[in-house]
C-alpha cells in the first residue's frame, strides 16, 4: 500500500483541533507555531496528495502573528476552506477551469460562521468540478489522492479537505454536502463527517434560488469532539431557526435508542462482503451496548433514485447554460469537463420529467422523516461498496458507464439532503485492504445531538483506526 501521512513530533503532534486550541490557550505553543507546523506538514504531503487548490499561507501567518481571531473552540487552529465557498481574497473556482481565478470580494454568510470558530485558514482545498461527482478527479490536472493508499479515491466532493485531515496535515477542515459530499470523503478517508440539518448553519448562496436546497456546510475531523465543538460554535454565532438547540455535546447519551438498520441500497444491488460485514458488526455492537436494532426497508421505492439523479442533472444544466449568472461573469462554458456536460445533456433529454422529480423529492421527505415515528436513528453503510481505485469514476470516461457506477456507489447519502435530515459518517470499519469503511447514521431534522452522542459512544467502544498506526 502507498500510505502517506504527516504526523510527527512537532507541536501539532497527534492533537485534534480542540487539543491544538487548548494548547495555544495554555501557552504551550503559539498560533504561529501551529500554522508553521501545519504548513510544513502540507508541504510534505501535498505534492503526493494534490489536495490544495489555492495557497494562502502569508495571510495565515499574519493572522497568527497578530492573533487576529474571534473567540471560539478553535482559536488559532490551522484549517482550510473548500474552494466552492467564498473567502475574501481567494479565488473560488469550484474545481473547474470554466471559472476564472478572480479573488472573492467578500465572504459569503457561512464563511463568517466558520471563521467565528477561530480557525486560521491557510488556503482552499480541492473539489471535483462543481462537486458533481464522488471522487476528486479531474480532466486537466492530477487527482487528489487518498492518504490511506494513494492508488485509491479520496471521495468527494470535499476530497481535498478530507485528504489533508486524514493525512494529519490539518486537524479539521471545511466541507460541504449536497448529496454526500461531507460524508463520502469522510468514509473514504477514515474521518468523522457530519452533514447538519438544513438551515442548522447559514445556507450557501447556491441554494438560495434552488427548488430544493440540498447543500449544507460543515467540517471533516478526526474526532467526534471536534465536530461537536464546531456545531456548538456555529450555533452560538447563528441560532438555527425553528430547530431545537444542540448545545455542546461532550459525551454519550444515557438513553438506549431504537435504531432502524437499512442495508439494501435504493438501486437494488447487494452490498459487497466487506461493507455488509462492517455494518452488521456495528449493529451487533449497538445491541451489546443496550440499543435495539431492527432491519427495515427504505420507505421509498426506486423512483426516488431517478428523481434525485434528474435533479442532480438539472444542477449541471443550470451551470452549463447560466454559469455566468450563477457562478461568475467570466464563466467559460467551453472549459466544462465531460462529466458536467454529460449531466447537462442528460437533463435536457429528461427536462419534461424535472417538475415531477421535484414534486417527488418533496413528497419523499415525509416518507423519510416518518421513519423517526418508530426510531431515533437509522443505521446504514455510508457507501454501497468499498472505496474504488482512482480512474473507476474518471470524469473523462464514458458518461453512461461512469454515471451508472456513481449511482450504485452513492446510494445511501442523498436522502438526507433532499429531506433536510442530519447524517453522520463514522470511521468504524476497514475493508480487507485496510482502507476505511464509513458507517452512517441519520436522525430527524434538528437532532444532531443524538448523532453526536452515538458518535461519542461508538468512538469510545471501538476507537477509530489511525493512519499513523497502520503498516504501509
181 has catalytic annotation:
yes
CA distance 452 to 30: 30
Q: How confident is the model at residue 205 (pLDDT cuts 50, 70, 90)?
A: confident
Residue 133's pLDDT is 98
Residue 267's pLDDT is 86
82 has catalytic annotation:
yes
Q: Which of 10-14, 35-39, 330-334, 348-352 has the lowest mean pLDDT?
A: 348-352
Residue 10 included in any domain? no
Q: C-alpha cell of 373?
A: 415515528
The answer on pLDDT for 470 being more than 80 is no
Q: Which of 155, 131, 132 is nearest to 143 (CA)?
A: 155
Residue 39 included in any domain? yes
Q: How confident is the model at residue 335 (pLDDT cuts 50, 70, 90)?
A: very high
197 has catalytic annotation:
no
Give the pLDDT mean for 268-285: 96
Are the C-beta atoms of residues 73 and 18 closer than 8 Å to each other?
yes
| Residue 324 structural domain | 17-461
Q: What is the pLDDT of residues 213-259, one digit of tens each?
A: 999 999 999 999 999 999 999 999 999 999 999 999 999 999 999 99
Residue 8 included in any domain? no
Q: Report the number of distinct structural domains present in the chain.
A: 1
The answer on pLDDT for 208 being more than 90 is no
Residue 370 included in any domain? yes
Residue 381's pLDDT is 98
Q: How far is CA 152 from CA 142, 315, 394, 436, 443, in A?
A: 13, 27, 12, 11, 30
Q: What is the pLDDT of residues 45-78, one digit of tens each?
A: 999 999 999 999 999 999 999 998 999 999 999 9
Residue 431's pLDDT is 97
Q: What is the pTM of this model?
A: 0.98
CATH number at residue 410: 3.90.1300.10
Percent of the chain at pLDDT exceeding 90: 96
Q: Which of 16-20, 52-56, 468-472 has the lowest mean pLDDT?
A: 468-472
Q: Which of 208-217, 245-254, 382-391 has the lowest mean pLDDT?
A: 208-217
User: How many angstroms from the chain centroid is the CA of residue 259?
Assistant: 23
Q: C-alpha cell of 201?
A: 448553519
The answer on pLDDT for 388 being more than 90 is yes
Residue 210's pLDDT is 84
Strands 258-261 and 292-295: parallel
Residue 407 included in any domain? yes
Find the catalytic residue in 73, 96, 125, 157: 157
When comparing pLDDT for 266 and 108, which is higher?
Answer: 108
Q: Which of 40, 329, 298 is nearest to 169 (CA)?
A: 40
pLDDT mean across residues, the chain: 97
Residue 207's pLDDT is 74
Q: Which of 255, 87, 82 is nearest to 178 (CA)?
A: 82
Q: What is the pLDDT of residues 280-326, one digit of tens each?
A: 999 999 999 999 999 999 999 989 999 999 999 999 999 999 999 99
Q: C-alpha cell of 231?
A: 456545531
Q: What is the pLDDT of residues 155-204, one digit of tens each?
A: 999 999 999 999 999 999 999 999 999 999 999 999 999 999 999 999 98
The answer on pLDDT for 471 being more than 70 is no
Find the catalytic residue in 181, 221, 364, 380: 181
Residue 211 included in any domain? yes
Residue 114 included in any domain? yes
Find the catalytic residue in 82, 125, 221, 425: 82
User: Which strand (E) or helix (H) includes residue 44?
Assistant: helix 31-49
Residue 3 included in any domain? no
Percent of the chain at pLDDT exceeding 70: 99
Q: C-alpha cell of 426?
A: 463514522
Amino acid at each position: 500500500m502507498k500510505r502517506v501521512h504527516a504526523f510527527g513530533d512537532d507541536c501539532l503532534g497527534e492533537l485534534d483541533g480542540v487539543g491544538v486550541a487548548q494548547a495555544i490557550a495554555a501557552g504551550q505553543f503559539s498560533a504561529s507555531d501551529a500554522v508553521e507546523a501545519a504548513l510544513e506538514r502540507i508541504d510534505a504531503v501535498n505534492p503526493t496528495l494534490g489536495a490544495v487548490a489555492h495557497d494562502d499561507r502569508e495571510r495565515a501567518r499574519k493572522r497568527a502573528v497578530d492573533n487576529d481571531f474571534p473567540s471560539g473552540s478553535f482559536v488559532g487552529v490551522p484549517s482550510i476552506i473548500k474552494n466552492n465557498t467564498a473567502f475574501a481574497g481567494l479565488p473560488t473556482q469550484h474545481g473547474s477551469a470554466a471559472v476564472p481565478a478572480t479573488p472573492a470580494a467578500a465572504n459569503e454568510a457561512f464563511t463568517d460562521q466558520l471563521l467565528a470558530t477561530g480557525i486560521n485558514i491557510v488556503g482552499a482545498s480541492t473539489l471535483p468540478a462543481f462537486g458533481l461527482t464522488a471522487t476528486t478527479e479531474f480532466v486537466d490536472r492530477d487527482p487528489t489522492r487518498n492518504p490511506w493508499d494513494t492508488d485509491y479515491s479520496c471521495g468527494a466532493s470535499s476530497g481535498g479537505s478530507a485528504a489533508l485531515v486524514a493525512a494529519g496535515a490539518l486537524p479539521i477542515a471545511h466541507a460541504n454536502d449536497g448529496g454526500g459530499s461531507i460524508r463520502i470523503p469522510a468514509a473514504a478517508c477514515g474521518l468523522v463527517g457530519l452533514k447538519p440539518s438544513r438551515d442548522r448553519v447559514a445556507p450557501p448562496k447556491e441554494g438560495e434560488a434552488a427548488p430544493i436546497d440540498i447543500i449544507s456546510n460543515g467540517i471533516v475531523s478526526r474526532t467526534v469532539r471536534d465536530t461537536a465543538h464546531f456545531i456548538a460554535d456555529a450555533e452560538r454565532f447563528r441560532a438555527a431557526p425553528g430547530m431545537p438547540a444542540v448545545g455542546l455535546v461532550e459525551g454519550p447519551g444515557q438513553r438506549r435508542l431504537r435504531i432502524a438498520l437499512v442495508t439494501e441500497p435504493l438501486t437494488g444491488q447487494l452490498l459487497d462482503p466487506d461493507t455488509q460485514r462492517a455494518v452488521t458488526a456495528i449493529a451487533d455492537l449497538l445491541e451489546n451496548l443496550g440499543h435495539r436494532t431492527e432491519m427495515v426497508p427504505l420507505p421509498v421505492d426506486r423512483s426516488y433514485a431517478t428523481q434525485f439523479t434528474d435533479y442532480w442533472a438539472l444542477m449541471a444544466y443550470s451551470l452549463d447554460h447560466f454559469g455566468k449568472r450563477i457562478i461568475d461573469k467570466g464563466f467559460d462554458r467551453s472549459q466544462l469537463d465531460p462529466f458536467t456536460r454529460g449531466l447537462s445533456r442528460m437533463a435536457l433529454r429528461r427536462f419534461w420529467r424535472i417538475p415531477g422529480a421535484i414534486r417527488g423529492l418533496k413528497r419523499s421527505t415525509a416518507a423519510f422523516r416518518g421513519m423517526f415515528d418508530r426510531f431515533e436513528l437509522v443505521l446504514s453503510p455510508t457507501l454501497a461498496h468499498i472505496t474504488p481505485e482512482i480512474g473507476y469514476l474518471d470524469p473523462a470516461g464514458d458518461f453512461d458507464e461512469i454515471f451508472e457506477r456513481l449511482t450504485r456507489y452513492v446510494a445511501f447519502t442523498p436522502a438526507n439532503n433532499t429531506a433536510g435530515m442530519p447524517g453522520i459518517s463514522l470511521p468504524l470499519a476497514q475493508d480487507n485492504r485496510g482502507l476505511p469503511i464509513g458507517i452512517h447514521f441519520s436522525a430527524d431534522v434538528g437532532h444532531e445531538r443524538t448523532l453526536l452522542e452515538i458518535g461519542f459512544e461508538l468512538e469510545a467502544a471501538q476507537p477509530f483506526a489511525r493512519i499513523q498506526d497502520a503498516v504501509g
